[in-house]
Amino acid sequence: MAKQQSLFREEQIESYKIRQIIKRNGAIVPFDRERIENSIFKAVLAVGGRNRELAQELTRKVIALMGELYPLGATPSVEEISDLTEKVLIENAHFKTAKAYILYRHEHSRIREGRESFIIIEDNVPYKNLLKVFSWNVDHDCETVKKLSDKVKNGGLKKLVADSEALYNCEIDAVARKIIKNRDKIRIVIVAGPSSSGKTTTTIKIGEVLKKEGLSFSLMNLDNYFRNLNEHPRDEYGDYDFETPFALDLDLINEHLKLLMKGKTVRSPKYNFKTGIRTLNDQEFCLKKGEILLIDSLHGLYEGLSSAVPQEFKFKLYIEAMCQLKDKTGEFVRWADLRMLRRMVRDSWHRGYDPGKTVGHWHYVRRSEMKYIVPFIKKADHIFNSALSYELPVHKKHLFKYFPEIIKQYSDDPKKTDAFIRAKRVYGLLTEIEEFKDDIVVPHNSLMREFIGGSSYKY
């Protein structure tokens, strides 16, 4: 009895730290420990067990681990908690139950992905877009990691590069046609999407097509509207949070947008990323008569970013790397993992940033995406896939060598369990794929060059 009371008090203390979680659709809801217990118990039943107390004990271990990893007031995602549950099952030698739990997660994912075809967006997932991408991959014989690796081995990747680039450019044309069709009322085009989804290159390419069609446009760089570092919001760990929309001076952005829509000239700020300080009134900026304003921003769909502009004047594009590629277990490669690889290689050559730090920081990125980006996908006028089918073999060339050290770096750090789990998963994925050494076949104006370097565009 004393032991049970002690465990109960421990559970109360640890669970008190986590009061809310982020669901897969971006909604923030109260934390419910029973959902963990029920999912574990279903896995126990799946392997012939009947012990509810075992599920309760394992749930306590999951909650205790959450208490170690997250400070008071943290809001983890369902994805993070599920990863921790798998970790607890495996570390406590419940291997059959762990396998059943993984299958349980996969089945729920399959159910979500198998909604009726007439539903365009459900749980903030654009299912029709996914079907289109997967069908294209099947038609080009590259829907699995194995088939993609075979193309590297037999010399077929060069054609896949060309076909993928052609598909991407067709998508650019489709977006541009929508804008051109409504050219009389659209004043601002916003390209939104999560980190490393390819917003910058896509925005540039849309601008190129508009220019060919005689539409004048001007790019607005919202990075210059970051607040001074000492004004930045901090997360629950005390770190500066660059991923939240509130890191931007939303009031100043809206003030300038309102003036620009009236044909006025504004003096935009200039942000210095090395010093973390911005200079106000740095450069004059205005729109000519009939000119369209192009903006790319993580938080372009967040209403507070452009609330000063009436909805009928805005065209909002949502871009995501909707990779539809299955690994050897039949699981789809996670979009966020693909984007993390993109950011790792870009950070390493462009910013001199250790790829391991990118992995360690990624849970901040994901948490912000779930709060401030994913929930607003339904507000987009067009959903755009930026995943290129040939990417993984190219990423392996640039990043594979770093992963053993990254895994080692985070293996014994309880506060970086998420980074450790993610690094192991991505390392396993890259182990399956054949490396493509000759990335010279990637065009210099490709979106891929935004990340691996060598682009003909200035970023």
pLDDT tens for residues 391-443? Answer: 999 999 999 999 999 999 998 887 788 899 999 999 999 999 999 988 899 99
| 444: number of Cβ within 10 Å | 10
pLDDT band at 384 (very low <50, low <70, confident <90, very high): very high
pLDDT at 68: 83
DSSP annotation string for 308-324: TS-GGGEEEEEEE----
Task: Give tens-digit pLDDT for 72-131.
Answer: 778 888 888 888 888 888 888 777 777 777 666 655 555 444 443 333 444 456 777 888
Percent of the chain having pLDDT more than 70?
89
Three-state SS sequence of 189-206: EEEECCCCCCHHHHHHHH
**Is the Cβ–Cβ distance between 197 and 386 less than 8 Å?**
yes
**C-beta atoms surrounding 389 within 10 Å:** 23
Q: Between residues 32 and 316, which one has the greater pLDDT?
A: 316
What b/e sequence results for 130-153 when a residue is b if at least 16 CB atoms lie within 10 Å of its CB, and e otherwise?
A: beebbebbeebebbbbebbbebbe
Cβ atoms 358, 426 nearer than 8 A: no
Q: 12 falls in which pLDDT band (50, 70, 90)? A: very low
Q: Return d(Cα 322, Cα 199) in angstroms, integer.
A: 14
Dihedral sign computed on CA atoms, order 90, 96, 102, 104: negative
**What whole-number distance in Å separates Cα of residue 443 and Cα of residue 448?**
8
Residue count (the chain):
459
Question: For 127-136, 170-179, 312-321, 447-456, which range has the lowest pLDDT when averaged over its residues?
Answer: 127-136
In DSSP terms, which residues pair with 271 in a beta bridge? 278
Q: CB-based contacts of 238: which residues, under 8 Å, 6+ apart?
A: none
Q: Per-residue pLDDT for 25 more than 70?
A: no
Q: Is the pLDDT of residue 139 over 90?
A: yes
**pTM for the model:** 0.74
CA distance 210 to 213: 5
pLDDT (tens digit per residue) in 155-168: 999 999 999 999 99
Weakest-pLDDT range from 61-65, 84-88, 143-147:
84-88
* CATH of the domain spanning 121-452: 3.40.50.300
At 283 the three-state DSSP class reads: strand
CA atoms within 13 A on the CB side of 31: 20
Lowest mean pLDDT among 124-133, 187-196, 327-336: 124-133
Which one is predicted more confidently, 139 or 94? 139
Closest listed residue to residue 348, CA positions, set 336, 359, 334: 359
Q: Compute the distance between CA of residue 140 and CA of residue 156 in angstroms, rounded to an integer.
A: 11
Average pLDDT score over the chain: 86
DSSP at 26: S
Identify whether the C-beta of residue 431 lies closer than 8 Å to the C-beta of residue 328: no
φ and ψ at residue 236, rounded to 5 degrees: -70, -15
Measured on CA atoms in the order 151, 152, 158, 161, is the torsion positive or negative?
A: positive
Side chain identity, residue 230: N
**Ranges of each domain in the chain:** 2-113, 121-452
The 10s digit of each residue's pLDDT in 247-283 is 999 999 999 999 999 999 999 999 987 888 999 999 9
* pLDDT score of 266: 96
Block residue for tokens 């607890």: 88
pLDDT at residue 108 in the model = 56
What local confidence, expressed as pLDDT, does residue 168 receive? 96
**Paired sense of beta strands 217-220 and 292-297, if any:** parallel
Six token digits for residue 324: 């539809």
Q: Decide if 456 contacts 444 (C-beta within 8 A).
A: yes
148 half-sphere exposure, CB direction, 13 A CA radius: 29
Got the DSSP string for 69-120? Answer: HS-TT---BHHHHHHHHHHHHHHTT-HHHHHHHHHHHHHHHHHHHT--TT-S
Report the DSSP pairing between strands 188-192 and 314-320.
Answer: parallel
CA 25 – CA 375 distance, rounded (Å)? 6
Nearest alpha-carbon partner for 37 in 52, 50, 55, 11: 55
pLDDT in the model for residue 237: 64
- Give the pLDDT confidence score for residue 7 in this predicted structure: 44
Question: Is residue 18 scored above 60 in pLDDT?
Answer: yes
